[in-house]
Chains A and B, each alone.
Chain A
Amino acid sequence: MTKQTTLLAADAACPASRSLWQLGWQRLRRDRLGLAALWVVAAFVLLALAGWLGLAGSHWRDEVAKPNTPPALFKHYAPATVELTAADIDAAQQHHTSAADASAATGMSAEDDPLAADMAAAQATAAQSAAASPAVATHADSLVCGSDSRGRDVLQKVIQGTATSLLVGLSGALLAMLIGTLLGALSGYFGRRVDDLLMWFYSVFTSVPDMLLLLAFSAVMSRGIDTVIMVMALTSWTGTYRLMRAEFMKHKGREYVQAADAIGASHRSRMFRHILPNVTHLLLVQFSILTVALIKYEAILSFLGFGVGVTQTSWGAMLAEAPAELLQGYWWQMAAVTLFMSLLVTAFSMLTDSLRDALDPKVK
C-alpha cells in the first residue's frame, strides 16, 4: 500500500498532525463523564453478547422459584401473601391438570374445533416432558431480583431482555444507517434525477409519523425479532439519509474529490473510498442516537404486543406483565427493567453527547 506508506512518512515528518479519530479519542478520554458512559455501554454490550451466546440469561424460562418471590434485600417491602404451603401447590396442580383437558371446555366437537389437533399434540408433548423430568421439587425461597408470576428468575429474564433489546436496537440502527447512507450518498453525489427520485421516496416516508408506520408494517407482518428489526430499519432510515445527502452534496465539490476525479477514480470509489471516510464520524453519532430511539420504540411495540414473539422476552414484553403484577403489589419486575433500561439509555445519551463534542467540534 503505497498510499499508507506515504501517509506514515508524512506522519513521521510532522508528528503533531493526527487523524480526526485520534484527536476525537483524545478529547473523549479527557471527558470523564463520557468515558464513564462508554464503560457502562460497553458493559451492557458484553452482557448482551453473553446473552446472545447463551452464556447468561439462557435459563430465563425455567421456573426456579416460588411465584412472585420478592427480591432478597427487600423481603419486608413485599406483600405478605406470597407464602404458599405444599398443600396449596398440590391443590393448584390438581386444579391445573383438570383444566388441561381443554377440548371439553370449548363446547365444540373435535371436527369443528380447528385447533383440536394442535391441542392434542401440545398436550401429548406436555405429558411427555412432564414424564421425562420429574416435577422440579426445589423451588427457591429467595432470589436476588425476585421472581415473576410463574416463578421465573427476574434477573435471568432481565439479562435476556437486555440481549433482545440491544440486538434489536443495534442491528435495527445498523440496517437503517446502511439504507440511509447508501441512498443519501447516491442522492447527494449524483443530484438531479436521482436526487429527485430519492427525495420523493424520503418525503413519502416522512409524511407518515414513525409510530404509525411501525404499526402499519407490523399489521401485515408476522411477529418476531427479525420482523421488528426490519420494520424499524425500514421506518427510521430517513434521518441518516438527510444527513448523508447534505454531507455528500457539500463534499462532492471539494478539491480532494476533484483530485480523485483527476487521477481517474470511478464514481463508486469517489463516493465510498474518498468521501465516506470523511463523514463516518457523523455516522457514529447518528448511530448512537438511533440506537437509543429504537430501544425505546422496541419497548413500546413489545408492550403493545406487536414486537418480539411470545417465546422471547424483552424489556417491553416484561413491562407488559407489570400492570397486572403491580395490582397485587409485586413491583420488582418493573423496577428491574426500569433500572436496566434507564441506566443504558442515560449512558448511551451521555456517550452520544460526548461523541459529538469529541468528533464534531464545530457543533456546540
Chain B
Amino acid sequence: MFAYILRRLWQMVPTLFGVMLLLFILFHWVGGDPSYILAGKSFSAETLANIRHQLGLDQSLPAQFLIFARQVLTLDFGISWSTQQPVAEILASRIGPSLTLALPMLLVSLLLSVIIAAIVAYVRGSLTDRIVTLICTLAMSVSALVYIIAGQYWLAHKLGWFPILGWSDSLATNLWRYIPLPLLLGLVVSLAPDIRFYRSCFIEEMGHDYVRTARAKGLSERAIMLKHVMRNALIPVVTSLMMSLPYLFLGALLLERFFGIPGMGNEVLNAVDRSDFPVIKAITIYVALATMLFNLLADIVYKLIDPRVQLK
C-alpha cells in the first residue's frame, strides 16, 4: 500500500509538469504581452519596459518558464495584478466562504439523493419510480441558470423568505442567513442527476445473486437493503463522490456569483474578468493538485471499502 501511494505520487510529477506547461503556453504565448493590460491607458515606452522587467518578460522563454516553475514549487504566485495583494493571501481568504457553502451542500445532497435513490430503486417499475424518473429527466433539462435566477427572484425578492444576497464575517450568521437559499438551489440543480445515477447503482446491485440468497435464507427486506445492497451500491457512490470533491468549490461558481459569496468561484470569475493572470494560474495549479490527490484518495478508499480491488 505504501509503495503504491509513493508510486502514484511519483506519477503526479509529469502531470503537474504538463499542467504547468499548458498554463505557460496559454498565458505567456497565446495570451500575448500582459504589460499593456498592466500599464493602463497612459503608458510610455519606459513604463512598459519597466513592467516587462518586473515580470521577467524581457528574459528568454525557458528562463520565464523557470520563474514560473519556481513559483509553483514554492506555491508563491506573487501579487495580484488588479488588487496588488499577495495571491496566497487572496486565496486563503476565499477558501473559507467556498467551503461554508460547498460542504453542507455536499452532505445534504448526498444524504437526500442516496435515500431517495434507494427507495425509488426498491420500488422500481412502480408509478412512484416512473414519476421520480420523469421529474428527474425534466429537471435536468432546465439550465442551472434558470433555477438560480428564478429562485433568487421568487424566494428572496418576491416572497422575502431569504436575503437576496450577502455575506458576513460570522460563520453562524452566514450559515443561518445567507447559506440556506444558495444551498436549496444547489440541491435542486444537483439532486436530479445524482438520484438517477445512484438509482442505477442500486438497481444493478439488486439484480445480483446474493440478494436472492439473502431473501432465501429469510432476511427481512430492510436488512437486505440496508446491510447487503446498500454496502455494495455505495462503492461507486463513494468513488464518484471523491472524484467530485475538487470540482465542488468550482461547481458552486454560479451560486457564489449570484449570491455575492466571496469564495473561490467568484474569485476565478473576477480574475478572468480583469485578466488577473497570477490569480488564475494559482487557482488552476491548486485545483489540479487537489484533483490528483483526490483521485489517489478515491482509489485508496475504493480499496478500503472493497477488498476485492487490486491496486496496480
Residues of A within 8 A of B (CB): 114, 200-201, 203-209, 211-213, 215-221, 296, 299-300, 303-306, 315-316, 319, 322-323, 326-327, 334, 337-338, 341-343, 345-346, 349-350
Closest chain B residue to A343 by CB distance? B141
A304 CA / B255 CA spacing, docked (Å): 12
Can you name 21 A-B pairs with beta carbons within 8 Å? Answer: A200-B15, A203-B15, A204-B22, A207-B19, A207-B291, A208-B19, A208-B288, A209-B247, A209-B287, A216-B284, A220-B32, A221-B30, A300-B144, A319-B146, A326-B150, A327-B157, A342-B143, A345-B142, A346-B141, A349-B140, A350-B137
Asked if A218 meets B144 with Cβ closer than 8 Å, knowing A326-B149, A346-B138, the reply is: no
Q: Which residues of B contact A206 (CB under 8 A)?
A: 291
Is A338 a contact partner of B146 (Cβ separation < 8 A)?
yes
Is B272 a contact partner of A219 (Cβ separation < 8 A)?
yes
Q: Which residues of A contact B206 (CB under 8 A)?
A: none
Known interface pairs A326-B150, A342-B141; 17 further A-B residue pairs with C-beta atoms within 8 A, sorted by A's residue number: A200-B14, A204-B18, A207-B291, A208-B287, A209-B287, A219-B31, A219-B277, A220-B31, A300-B144, A300-B145, A304-B257, A319-B149, A323-B149, A323-B152, A323-B153, A342-B138, A346-B141
Q: Which residues of A contact B284 (CB under 8 A)?
A: 208, 212-213, 216
Q: Which residues of A contact B273 (CB under 8 A)?
A: 305
A322 CA / B283 CA spacing, docked (Å): 30
Q: Which residues of B contact A345 (CB under 8 A)?
A: 140-142
Q: Which residues of B contact A334 (CB under 8 A)?
A: 146, 149-150
Give min CB distance, B122 to chain A, whole Å.
Answer: 19
Asked if A216 meets B23 with Cβ closer than 8 Å, knowing A209-B246, A209-B250, the reply is: yes
Is A207 a contact partner of B288 (Cβ separation < 8 A)?
yes
Q: Which residues of A contact B251 (CB under 8 A)?
A: 211
A221 CA / B26 CA spacing, docked (Å): 9
* Chain B residue total in the interface (Cβ 8 A): 48
Is B145 a contact partner of A218 (Cβ separation < 8 A)?
no
Give min CB distance, B73 to chain A, whole Å.
Answer: 17
A319 CA / B15 CA spacing, docked (Å): 37
Q: Which residues of B contact A341 (CB under 8 A)?
A: 141-143
Closest chain A residue to B204 by CB distance? A364
Closest chain A residue to B26 by CB distance? A220
Give min CB distance, B151 to chain A, whole Å.
Answer: 11
Asked if A212 meets B143 with Cβ closer than 8 Å, knowing A200-B18, A219-B275, A326-B153, the reply is: no
Q: Which residues of A contact B246 (CB under 8 A)?
A: 209
A75 CA / B287 CA spacing, docked (Å): 49
Q: Which residues of B contact A342 (CB under 8 A)?
A: 138, 141-143
Interface assignment of B217: CB less than 8 Å from any CB of chain A: no
Is A204 a contact partner of B15 (Cβ separation < 8 A)?
yes
A346 CA / B273 CA spacing, docked (Å): 32
CB contacts under 8 Å to A, within B124-143, are: 137-138, 140-143
Q: Which residues of A contact B79 (CB under 8 A)?
A: none
Is B18 a contact partner of A349 (Cβ separation < 8 A)?
no
Q: Which residues of A contact B275 (CB under 8 A)?
A: 219
A322 CA / B280 CA spacing, docked (Å): 28
A319 CA / B153 CA spacing, docked (Å): 14
Q: Which residues of A contact B23 (CB under 8 A)?
A: 216
Residues of B within 8 A of A (CB): 14-15, 18-19, 21-23, 26-27, 30-32, 41, 137-138, 140-146, 149-150, 152-153, 157, 246-247, 250-251, 253-254, 257, 268-269, 271-273, 275, 277, 280, 283-284, 287-288, 291-292
The 9 A-B pairs of least Cβ separation, nearest first, read A204-B18, A220-B31, A346-B141, A345-B141, A342-B141, A219-B272, A207-B288, A326-B153, A203-B15
Q: Which residues of B contact A201 (CB under 8 A)?
A: 18
- Most-contacted residue by chain A among B27, B140, B152, B257 (CB, 10 A): B140
Is B143 a contact partner of A296 (Cβ separation < 8 A)?
yes
Q: Which residues of A contact B292 (CB under 8 A)?
A: 207
Give min CB distance, B256 to chain A, whole Å.
Answer: 12
Asked if A299 meets B143 with Cβ closer than 8 Å, knowing A204-B18, A322-B149, A334-B149, the reply is: yes
A322 CA / B147 CA spacing, docked (Å): 12
Residue B291 contacts which of A208, A304, A316 (CB distance < 8 angstroms)? A208
A305 CA / B23 CA spacing, docked (Å): 22
Asked if A215 meets B280 with Cβ closer than 8 Å, knowing A200-B15, A304-B257, A334-B149, the reply is: yes
Is B157 a contact partner of A319 (Cβ separation < 8 A)?
no
Q: Which residues of B contact A315 (CB under 8 A)?
A: 143
Q: Which residues of A contact B253 (CB under 8 A)?
A: 211
Q: Which residues of B contact A300 (CB under 8 A)?
A: 143-145, 254
Q: Which residues of B contact A212 (CB under 8 A)?
A: 250, 268, 283-284, 287
Asked if A303 meets B19 with Cβ closer than 8 Å, knowing A215-B280, A219-B280, A346-B138, the reply is: no
Q: Which residues of A contact B272 (CB under 8 A)?
A: 215-216, 218-219, 306
Closest chain A residue to B291 by CB distance? A207
Q: Which residues of A contact B146 (CB under 8 A)?
A: 319, 334, 337-338
A306 CA / B150 CA spacing, docked (Å): 22
A84 CA / B211 CA spacing, docked (Å): 70
Q: Which residues of B contact A337 (CB under 8 A)?
A: 146
A221 CA / B157 CA spacing, docked (Å): 37
A221 CA / B137 CA spacing, docked (Å): 35
